[in-house]
Chains A and B, each alone.
Chain A
Amino acid sequence: MQITPLGDQALLVELGQTIDESTHRKVQSAWRSLAAEPLPGVTELVPAYTTVTAYYDPVQAVQAGAPAGQIVDWLSDRLRERLKNPPKTAKTKGRMVEIPVCYEGEFAPDLGVVAKQAKLTPAEVIKLHTKTEYLVYLVGFAPGFPYLGGLPKILATPRHAKPRMVVPAGSVGIGGQQTGIYPCATPGGWNLIGRTPLALFRPALHPPTLLSAGDRVKFRAITREEFLRQEAGA
């Protein structure tokens, strides 16, 4: 485990080097341990694939006893100490969620790019993408945006060198070895291969997102007609 500063108000706790389920479990467990009881000065904890980031307020840390010139070391020691002696926390079991996706026409502007680099036909890409079961590693980047793991290696496609300024809501994309869904219109650099009519962000509910870290996801190909029908009904 390595702890690295991310600027002057956050520390990255690194729990692995690769995207895999074992690292995911370590991240989830470290996150739960750190979140179980507040740490002095820590304002927010954010889990990702291989890291938990602890955001903190240096002023609060000093008020809690950190020496002014050694805030990072002081806080790192406390993070390590907590992870070495984790408090007992309840385990939460993820659910299986099916997501309908239309892989046609303007919903899939980069399907050809992904197919070409995989040396597959677009139909084969869709078949592979829907056959796989994915794990929600984290939710982030945009409200309700799930980062999904489990993408077949052959479909991995590098991000665009220059991100699009606007990606439409519901777009399903591939960025490197990751696949995910854009819940609202936002800039983004991933290859877009389809679109879902489901709302992934539901601010009036708690939790405010359809998917949470630890959930399993399967995509189901739908026609343009079904997409429009579901979108109208949503």
Chain B
Amino acid sequence: MITVQQPGLLTTVQDLGRPGYQQYGVVVGGALDALAARTANLLVGNEENAAVLEMAQTGPALCFSQSTLVAWCGADFDAQINGEPCPRDRPVRVAAGDVLRFGLARRGLRAWLAIAGGIDVPLVMGSRSTYRRAGLGGLAGRALQGTDQLSCGDASEWSQQILEKLLANGQRATAWSVRPDTIGRPARVGVVRAMRGPEWEWFTEPAQQAFFQATWVATKEADRMGVRLKGPGLALAQPREMISSAVNAGVVQIPPAGQPIVLLPSRQSVGGYPRLAAVAAVDLRHFTQLRLGDSIRFEEISVVGAQDLILTQARDLTRVRLGLSRLLA
């Protein structure tokens, strides 16, 4: 059992999302950075789709009633176990009575904490992800609160052996780590790769050029659905109302005011604003770390190029999975 001593600013239970219900308008959602959540799960011996805790800006304080393995990935949070630093990107041993406390994110915005066995909440429409707008999934469809108790599934054999090794060596954490941002071919800092969207041709040439040349600044209008950016106004070649059609995470919508909205996994299923561009799936994670005033640039990539990045990331992740399984061989 895990007792929530402090909930953090916005901590939710998330897995890899709730696909299959978009025809009812139910968002896919899930961990905003799927790669970070999957890596954290692999590091504690979980299935990659196990439920983790997603935190934003200020993390939770959690008291563990029994020893287990945890791992967190994502932004640079000030994380401590009983006042000692709790390192990122590796399996960490917690003992009964330990308090794992996440303070402020020093850089970036969000992190994902996996616990051996995965957070045990009911499956709703095939997923454990919290969908706050509809009050579904996770813990009663809401963010963590101060008095919550969390339970976890059974830890895997791998997890138990790593835990025993750490204990035998008197170590808190492993010396080795797996950093999600070394998996696949990450973008350069401050740059995300993006493809032209279905309505690319609707925009003026200066707008098309500005999109890939300008530096865009994150505004305060940012949540799990999307991030609104500020920069040069992007105009349509002629006024045109779009017929609502499906969108996806990463789609860059341009409302009439001309400022882009980059959609994140808790986006709506259908949208009515022209889709100027779409961020490469592997680079979308950068938008989950943007803070007010952070800047970012778009660099053009082809669909084939973006899919090559997806395939490369998948191959690298397979290598990580294999490497971890061989640790105990």
Contact = CB atoms under 8 A, between A and B. Distances in A.
A53 to B, nearest CB: 4
Interface string A32-59: 0000000000011111111101010011
B176 interface: no
Interface string A127-154: 0000000000011111111010000000
Query: Which range contains the number of B residues in contact with the other chain?
Result: 35 or more
Nearest to B314: A59
A176 interface: yes
Interface in A169-225: 175-178, 183-187, 189, 201, 203, 207-209, 213
Interface stretch (A1-9, A79-87, A107-115, A117-125): A1-9
A19 interface: yes
A6 B278 contact: yes
B167 interface: no
Interface in B1-39: 19-27
Nearest to A183: B25
A29 to B, nearest CB: 15
Interface residues of A, number: 60
Interface in A94-116: none
B303 A72 contact: yes
A165 B250 CA distance: 20
A207 B25 CA distance: 11
B221 A165 contact: yes
B272 A187 contact: no
Contacts of A72: 303-304, 307
Nearest to A66: B307
Nearest to B225: A187
Given A62-B311, A176-B241, A177-B241, A8 B20 contact: no
20 contacts: A5-B198, A6-B246, A7-B250, A7-B303, A10-B248, A45-B23, A49-B244, A55-B248, A68-B307, A71-B304, A71-B307, A139-B23, A140-B25, A143-B27, A145-B25, A159-B272, A176-B272, A201-B134, A203-B125, A208-B26
